Amino acid sequence: MNTEDLLARVGHSQEETEFYTPLPAGYRHGHHKYVVVVGTVMSGLGKGIFSSSMAKLLQDKGLRVAPIKMEGYYNIDSGTLNPYRHGEVFVLDDGIETDMDLGTYERLLDQDLTRANFTTNGQIHAAVLKKEREGGYLGRDVQFNPHVTGEVKMRLRELAVKSKADVVFVEVGGTVGDYENTAYLEACRQLAFEEGEGSVVFVALTYVLEPGALGEQKSKAAQLGIKRMLEMGIQPHMIACRANNPVNEKVRQKISMYCNVPMRRVVSMHDVSSIYLIPESLREAGIDREVLTLLNLHDRVDQRAEDQARRKWSWFVDRIGKARKEITIAVTGKYVALRDAYASIIKAVEHCGIHHGVDVKLKWIDTTLIGAHNVENELSDCHGIIVPGGFGSRGVEGKIDCIRHAREKKIPYLGLCLGFQMAVIEYARNVCNIPEANSSEFAPAGKHSVIDILPEQKKIEGLGGNMRLGGKDIAVTPGTLAAKIFNGATQIRLRFRHRYEVDPQIIGTLEKHGMVFSGRHPRQPIMQILELPESVHPFFMGTQAHPELSSRPLRPQPMFMALVAASMDYARDHGKEHGKSHGGHHKQTAAV
């Protein structure tokens, strides 16, 4: 279908039209369907978790799904956002820096996403202004409606074509009523009109209050929130009610009546012990069938695929919370807002704990408070140590003390990006006898920058002075620990986000003193994985990459699997293994 046909459908011709509806080549009207998830009442309800769980239910049935997160901010991507305010920057394989919710989608759908799955107001407006300068609007005055909204619709349809999606899941950032997401909501309203009945489903995610003083659930805020959607011309087809406890019948009835949504489509999405239980609880609430009916998709379902997918998923879910053992892994990160700033690390460790049948507690260490005098004491209850990625010099000396302790006391160690660089510095200083070894990030005028910015290295990959971003191939040296944990693979792929790297001039010295670089750029002397031989240390590994970004529930990341296994051995051998004293997980509510 082309734009003209589409306009004809709604009774308009292309000349002198008020419509602006460019369609991407290859668009199959009626084939691509959309589910739009909108938050009401408040943000932070877990829209991403909800939307990805719903997408997973349809994916399990053999349908092709493509999620997209639409952010209200004007940054072009998330690269410049402070992770302590906005959560971690999640880098996709194609190198775009996105919001942490993209991580939730990748993990739940076990699908690699691209820049087409993420947009911001900044991207939308930049595209409109660029087109205007190029004379792309044929003399028209460029307006919010139809041009900005037209650009949004274009993005959604382009994603549909590119991903060949049966269903595009649109997560509109923020909450209905925010000025920031008005363009998205208005565009989705228009999309539903243009695509016609049975093509777009709107889901309102709302919140049911249960004030402690009243001891009962109240629906008013939810009703008013949804009223805002109705004011914008959007009738939700389905309402998911977030709440601490299962939402009772009376409250659901009130919401149903007030918002014109039948009871079977007003479902409770109360807190559960793990986000991985949400797909099944939505299935039990019948949401998957309702979506199929609304979008007329029942005949695209592959029952056998669904049985198989559900069998695999239940294997994983059944193990959650059943661990009999408990270990503690230290993570050197600032305590404030850690859950979001280190979301992927937390998730990777959780996946591996579930696979190994162990509950892994994370102990957060603020390294600004660590020094040689207290490192032993601080880490005495830990069975493994992670030094995660980071920027800036805050707490780096404390990190080096932690790494030295891990190396000398043979405590399992995994260094991620900055943690890899710090392991190189620690080794250069304390083993190779280069006391001034440092990174030019922290000591720009230092004498021995064993970690440096090296623009000539970047040029090799065409990066200039910029950050090295996205998925890159790594050649793994046969016979090493890395080769073992990656099952003998000689080439693997991980995601990167760094500016500094190991100075090739120091490699020989480090190797002479026993450090092994087991992962390298396939052709250049760019170091990507380091380790100590197993004869010297049970598990000491660092990587310039961010392996935490590619861990998935059913495909836990091998480096994290090896760290957790080694930490379990350490706990056993040092008589520090804990049986689990108290059962049950804490309830988890927000988007992780």
Q: Which listed residue (97, 417, 448, 537) is catalytic?
A: 417
Closest-CB residue for ligand GLN? 389
Cα separation, 533 vs 474, whole angstroms? 19
Q: Which residue's CB is nearer to ligand GLN, number 87 or number 390?
A: 390
* Locus of tokens 């994370």: 362
- Least distance to ligand GLN, CB of residue 329, Å: 18
Torsions phi, psi for 156 (to 5 deg) = -65, -40
- Least distance to ligand GLN, CB of residue 475, Å: 20
Tokens representing residue 537 in the block: 């240390």
Q: Which residue's CB is nearer to ligand GLN, number 497 or number 537?
A: 497
Q: Which residue's CB is nearer to ligand GLN, number 486 or number 496?
A: 496
- Least distance to ligand GLN, CB of residue 443, Å: 13
Active-site annotation holds for 352: no
- Least distance to ligand GLN, CB of residue 15, Å: 53
Tokens representing residue 476 in the block: 């793994």
Active-site annotation holds for 151: no
* Locus of tokens 């919001």: 99
Q: At what angle do helices 504-512 and 418-430 cross, to 10 degrees?
A: 60
Edge-to-edge strands, sheet with 65-71: 118-120, 65-71, 167-172, 33-39, 200-207, 238-243, 266-270
Q: Which residue's CB is nearer to ligand GLN, number 169 or number 496?
A: 496
Cβ contact 156:66 at 8 Å:
no
The total of other beta-carbon atoms located within 10 Å of residue 296's CB is: 13
The H helix count followed by the E strand count for the chain is 21, 22
Q: Which residue's CB is nearer to ligand GLN, number 107 or number 498?
A: 498
| CA distance readout (Å), 442 to 184, 419, 452, 547 | 42, 14, 10, 24
Nearest to 78 by CA among 106, 94, 107, 102: 102
The total of other beta-carbon atoms located within 10 Å of residue 376's CB is: 11
Q: Which residue's CB is nearer to ligand GLN, number 353 or number 398?
A: 398
Q: Which listed residue (237, 351, 498, 546) is catalytic?
A: 546
- Least distance to ligand GLN, CB of residue 452, Å: 10
Cα separation, 10 vs 573, whole angstroms? 72
Active-site annotation holds for 548: yes
Tokens representing residue 140 in the block: 């028209």
Q: Which residue's CB is nearer to ligand GLN, number 22 or number 471?
A: 471
Cα separation, 78 vs 97, whole angstroms? 5
Q: Which listed residue (158, 378, 501, 548) is catalytic?
A: 548
Concatenate the DSSP letters of all residues of 408-454 into one string: HTT--EEEETHHHHHHHHHHHHHTS--TTEEETTT-TT-SEEEEE--
- Least distance to ligand GLN, CB of residue 420, Å: 8
Cα separation, 318 vs 312, whole angstroms? 10
Cα separation, 208 vs 240, whole angstroms? 10
- Measure CA of the first residue to CA of the last residue in the chain; give whole Å: 40
Tokens representing residue 329 in the block: 């892994």
Q: Which residue's CB is nearer to ligand GLN, number 346 or number 418?
A: 418
Q: Which residue's CB is nearer to ligand GLN, number 418 or number 568?
A: 418
| CA distance readout (Å), 390 to 14, 82, 478, 530 | 52, 11, 30, 18
Contact residues: ligand GLN, CB under 6 A: 389-391, 417-418, 441, 497-500
Give the contacts of 35 (CB within 8 A, at least 6 positions apart).
51, 54, 55, 167, 168, 169, 170, 200, 201, 203, 291, 295
Q: Which residue's CB is nearer to ligand GLN, number 243 or number 417?
A: 417
- Least distance to ligand GLN, CB of residue 308, Å: 37
Q: Which residue's CB is nearer to ligand GLN, number 426 or number 441?
A: 441
Cα separation, 374 vs 362, whole angstroms? 19
Cβ contact 584:321 at 8 Å:
yes
Q: Which residues are paired to 328 by β-bridges? A: 361
Q: Which residues are catalytic?
A: 417, 546, 548
